[in-house]
Amino acid sequence: MKLYFLFILFLSIFLISCSKKTSEIDLKIDNLSIFAEGELYEGSNSAQCEFESPLNAFLKEKGLTIENLVSASVSECELSVADSNNFNIYSSISMQLTSEKVEMQNIGVLNPVPENVNTILIKTAEKQDNILQLLKENKIFAVADANIKKDTAMNIDLKLKMTFKIKYNTK
């Protein structure tokens, strides 16, 4: 019985020491401009921006490779008005990411949008599929779907900041 117990103990220690360890690191993107020219109509209006994936530069800076990566998600999504206006014309805003090869991925939504503020945090979705796949693409599109309270001649002119939580293998 002792021999059996020692064998199980040895096997457990061996398996734990050989397993890969996972760590997390943040990848921040800021100052992206999301724009749609008015007239805007009551209801849903979309605005977008295109940006280059920062993944390759990030990996080089951190000394990681694509093979190290396990998963990615958006942990924070902040929008601010680019001009002197506030968010009073918006009732709700949802954010998505997409690319030419990866279908639209839901990042989150804020409903209702608070009034008399210049910056909002989108409530990020718990389930975010294919974010790592999106980051591996060269070009990514950020899409804001904004529900406007009433017709207006204003533009959608927003600044976007996002933080991606990257999980990677260290061993």
> Is the pLDDT at 98 greater than 50, yes or no?
yes
The count of structural domains within the chain is 1
**Given the structure tokens 């958006």, which residue do they identify?**
74
Q: How far apart are CA 110 and CA 161, in angstroms?
A: 15
Judge whether 3 lies within some domain: no
Judge whether 16 lies within some domain: no
Judge whether 125 lies within some domain: yes
Judge whether 108 lies within some domain: yes
Whether the Cβ atoms of residue 137 and residue 102 lie closer than 8 Å to each other: yes
> Is the pLDDT at 116 greater than 60, yes or no?
yes
Q: How far apart are CA 50 and CA 133, in angstroms?
A: 16
Judge whether 84 lies within some domain: yes
CA 65 to chain CA centroid, nearest Å: 20
> Is the dihedral angle over the CA atoms 164, 84, 44, 38 positive or is it negative?
negative
Judge whether 83 lies within some domain: yes
Judge whether 5 lies within some domain: no
pTM listed for this prediction:
0.81
- CATH number where 70 lies: 2.60.120
Confidence of residue 105 (pLDDT cuts 50, 70, 90): very high
For residue 119, count other CB atoms closer than 10 A to its CB.
12
> Is the pLDDT at 9 greater than 80, yes or no?
no
| pLDDT value at residue 97 | 96
Enclosing domain of residue 160: 22-169
Judge whether 152 lies within some domain: yes
DSSP structure class, residue 132: H
Q: Where are the alpha helices (DSSP H) in the chain?
A: 2-18, 55-62, 131-135
> Is the pLDDT at 2 greater than 80, yes or no?
no
| pLDDT value at residue 15 | 47
Write the pLDDT tens digit of every residue in 12-61. 555 444 556 888 889 999 989 999 887 889 999 999 999 999 998 888 88
Residues contacting 130, CB < 8 A, separation 6+: 102, 103, 105
